[in-house]
Amino acid sequence: MSSTEINATASETTREDIPLKSGTKQSKWYSCSDECLTGSKFINIAFGTLTVVITIALLIQIYYGDYQVVPHGSVATDSLDCSRIGTQILKQGGNAIDAAIASTFCLAVATPHLTGLDAEGQILIYNHRTRLLPNVIDFSSTNVLSDRMPRLVLGLAYVHQQYGTLPWKKLIDPSAELADNGYVVSRELADVIIKSKAEDLYGRLEPGQNLQHKLLSNTLRTIGNITEKELYSYLDSAHQPVQSQGIKSNFHNYDVYVPSLASIGPILLVNLREIEEFNFTKIDIQSNKAIVDSTLYVYQEFNVNDKFHEGTSTSVAAMDLDENYVSLVTGMYNYFGSGEMTLHGYVLDVKNKTKPCSRIPIILTDSFYICGKRMAFGANGIAQASQIISNLVIGGQNTTDGIEAPRFYVLPNGTVAIEEAHLPRFSADLIQYIKNIYGKVLTVPEPYYSSNIVEKSQDDLSSHSDSRGGGIASRF
């Protein structure tokens, strides 16, 4: 990363701290620089170069559409509409949890192949001021099955009851409106409809076309109209998501937070420990080979493919001004779940699930510097999660490079495969290495699991939505 970009973001953030100048320090606007840097000196320097800095920041925004200067907050999802709905919620004073709820309802509209009102999921909620272990709310369990309310609604209602600040209705209405007015069909959605023969659900769609969904819109409006009192009454003890504390481990001087219960979290941490043993300092052919070896070993040793199912996955990453970091992953057992459409305009997920799914929310923070990098993202499977974490932490890659880097997959029969279509590709050396293991290189066709990330470093915020998911992050 060039130093111009770092300067631009740092100062842009300081500009947001202008109220400090009047002597009324707004404690609500917690800033990492309050703790890490000697405040006033830093601000004076920043003011001297303000004009230059704004120009540079604007140029960067023009040239790197994806890289943004974000002092307030950011939301990254598989759909630009849904990222925007999330940041609108932040703008209205909602916290990162409110934003994640609103964005997830939106994904139930815009990415119906991946998630929906009957989807399951997990949220990881961490606050970097208290730095306590994060909380996990898991609404994958059969507990959350009710004939009165779809599972995702119950799960998010519970999250809202525990952590939400804005009225429930405000979190749903934007998605009801999107379904009403229509959203732009993504290439991924159009592809999956063809590949999973789901034309009877949505018809054959063209990427870029506008798709309205009046039935779902009406369902969402009805759910939005439910008073919070009534809504929470559905969450009796028999219909509650499972709340637990996340677990923490250390990887190359980063704290790694993941869920424990019924998730791949604990096994992911084992793989990270295996990778850390090598003391790698960069991502190159050596470290990539070791990551392949270690991951294969861990899949085999822990029977990962027997224990977990790789269902669909779509992740929302969000951070707010109060240092709440959130990763919320939802999905179904298969694309379009069971393929059965309800009269309310959403598909039902598969009922006879035999294993828990492998999607996982992750938060990383620098173990030594409070204002070092802090990252929230979601992944699907140990292979994907381990590679992204290694890219970000060992490789020190920025959010774009860390997420867009090529990935290998571990197929259900335990062999390694690489992406057929995604760019950039692995180096020829690594491809040869994989070829040597199996005598040939297996490739997986699109679509690929996406991973969306928001990262803070000092007070700078950057975010990236994986091109594999077709989204764009939003920030303000």
Ligand X SMILES: *[C@@H]1O[C@H](CO)[C@@H](O)[C@H](O)[C@H]1NC(C)=O
Interacting residue ranges for ligand X, rule: CB under 6 A: 1, 5, 64, 67, 218, 221-222, 225, 277-279, 352, 354, 398, 400-401, 411, 413, 415, 442
What is the closest distance, in whole angstroms, from the C-beta atom of residue 355 to ligand X in the complex? 9
- CB nearer to ligand X: give 98 or 173: 173
- CB nearer to ligand X: give 127 or 334: 334
- CB nearer to ligand X: give 210 or 413: 413
Quote the distance between the C-alpha of residue 8 and its chain's center. 25
| Cα–Cα nearest to 140, from 335, 356, 340 | 356
- CB nearer to ligand X: give 278 or 302: 278
What is the closest distance, in whole angstroms, from the C-beta atom of residue 225 to ligand X in the complex? 4
What is the closest distance, in whole angstroms, from the C-beta atom of residue 65 to ligand X in the complex? 10
What is the closest distance, in whole angstroms, from the C-beta atom of residue 27 to ligand X in the complex? 31
What is the closest distance, in whole angstroms, from the C-beta atom of residue 113 to ligand X in the complex? 18
Q: Measured at CB, which residue is nearest to ligand X?
A: 67
| Cα–Cα nearest to 304, from 348, 245, 257, 263 | 263
Phi, psi of 461 (to 5 degrees): -120, 130
- CB nearer to ligand X: give 11 or 240: 11
- CB nearer to ligand X: give 24 or 352: 352
- CB nearer to ligand X: give 72 or 309: 309
- CB nearer to ligand X: give 177 or 401: 401
What is the closest distance, in whole angstroms, from the C-beta atom of residue 38 to ligand X in the complex? 27
- CB nearer to ligand X: give 20 or 431: 431
How distant, in Å, are the alpha carbons of 266, 272, 304, 344, 411 from that of 291? 17, 9, 16, 45, 16
- CB nearer to ligand X: give 1 or 184: 1
**Beta 416-419 vs 442-444: how paired, if at all?**
parallel
What is the closest distance, in whole angstroms, from the C-beta atom of residue 105 to ligand X in the complex? 15
Mention every residue, 6+ apart, whose C-beta is less than 8 A from residue 445.
420, 421
Q: 15 is written with which tokens?
A: 């500009």
Biggest CA–CA distance in the chain, Å, is 69
What is the closest distance, in whole angstroms, from the C-beta atom of residue 345 to ligand X in the complex? 12
What is the closest distance, in whole angstroms, from the C-beta atom of residue 207 to ligand X in the complex? 25
The whole-angstrom separation of Cα 264 and Cα 137 is 15
Q: 452 pairs with which residues across the strands?
A: 465
Mention every residue, 6+ apart, whose C-beta is less than 8 A from residue 236.
none
What is the closest distance, in whole angstroms, from the C-beta atom of residue 49 to ligand X in the complex? 20
Quote the distance between the C-alpha of residue 365 and its chain's center. 16
The whole-angstrom separation of Cα 294 and Cα 272 is 9
What is the closest distance, in whole angstroms, from the C-beta atom of residue 223 to ligand X in the complex? 9
**Beta 460-465 vs 452-457: how paired, if at all?**
antiparallel
- CB nearer to ligand X: give 134 or 160: 160
The whole-angstrom separation of Cα 363 and Cα 122 is 13
